[in-house]
Structure 1
Amino acid sequence: MFDTKVALIVRSDLAVWQKLNVVAFLATGVAAAAPDALGEPYEDAAGHRYGRMLGQPMMVFAADRSGLQSAHRQALSRELRIVPYVHAMFSTGHDAANRAVFRAEDAANLDLVGLALHGPKKAVDKAVKGLALHE
């Protein structure tokens, strides 16, 4: 049905509030990177209009740091849209600080706690191969 796929990967050892925070931010990153994936606005029976959401499912996977880093390497090699979230971002208070702590990370050893991937289905499937869906 869809030519593309969205995968959100969250580190399994995080507190529940951290997992939810990461998934929320990653989802907004996908929407920003792929506005063409957004559906139409919702409208209820009374005519009230509501916001748009992605028009396709997002699969949420769990992984340890190593699994996230592996998915990241696979996503880079397949030129997927990537939205990252690193551990240091939990200690910041605004977007500019998030970008600063991300830039300070060792690009070869990112301390990833979350990753969103968007692209052709087969390429996303290969990037998340071996990861389990989040329970």
Structure 2
Amino acid sequence: MTFPTKIAVLLRDDLAVWQRLNVTAFVVSGIAGTQPELLGADYADADGTPYLPMFGQPVLVFEGGPAVLAAAHARAVQRGLACAVFTEELFKTGNDEDNRAAVRAVASAELNLAGMAVHGPKNAVDKILKGARLHG
């Protein structure tokens, strides 16, 4: 099945495994929280135990160096695609208010990005991710 849109996460390639997982969890929550139409129906097992819905399409995870991440972020902003960002400073904060303050304190072009998530038309997201490679 093909989808007209793409959900993608781009991670900085020098992050520790726990950081990659943490960043991914945080940035995809921004997509899910603002675009609930991307969520499928609730799940249930054979016993009828209910589970929360998840995205109805794949989430592709990419990686790249700091320059690739900065370029992807700039292209997303230029194209007007909303994205979620996770900066290096957020590894040192402990709550949402401090997280938002840490991002607000830095100009867009100067953000020290650890990762980002973006959703949009497939072709647009592919262009934003130019230079990134699938996480492996």
Q: What is the TM-score of this pair, normalised by structure 2?
A: 0.96
The answer to whether structure 1 residue 116 and structure 2 residue 117 are counterparts is: yes
**What does residue 89 of structure 1 align with?**
90
SS at structure 1 position matched to 2:94 = coil
- How far apart in 2 are the matches of 1:131 and 1:53? 25
What letter is aligned with 1:17? W
Find the residue that maps to 1:130 and give its secondary structure.
coil
Mapped to 1, the partners of 2:108 and 2:58 lie a distance apart of: 29
Q: Is the 8 A contact 1:5 1:121 kept in 2?
A: yes
Unaligned runs of 5+ in 2: none
* Shift, 1:3, TM fit: 1.5
- Match of 1:8, SS state, is strand
Say what the alpha-carbon RMSD is for the aligned residues: 0.8
- Counterpart of 2:27? 26
Q: Give the share of equivalent positions with the same residue, in percent.
A: 47
Partner of 1:40: 41
**Does the 8 A contact of 1:33 with 1:81 survive in 2?**
no
- Cα distance in 1, alignment partners of residues 121 and 60 from structure 2: 14
In structure 1, distance between residues paired with 2:109 and 2:49: 48
What residue identity is the alignment partner of 1:99? R
Residues 1-135 of structure 1: pairs in structure 2 closer than 5 A: 1-135=2-136
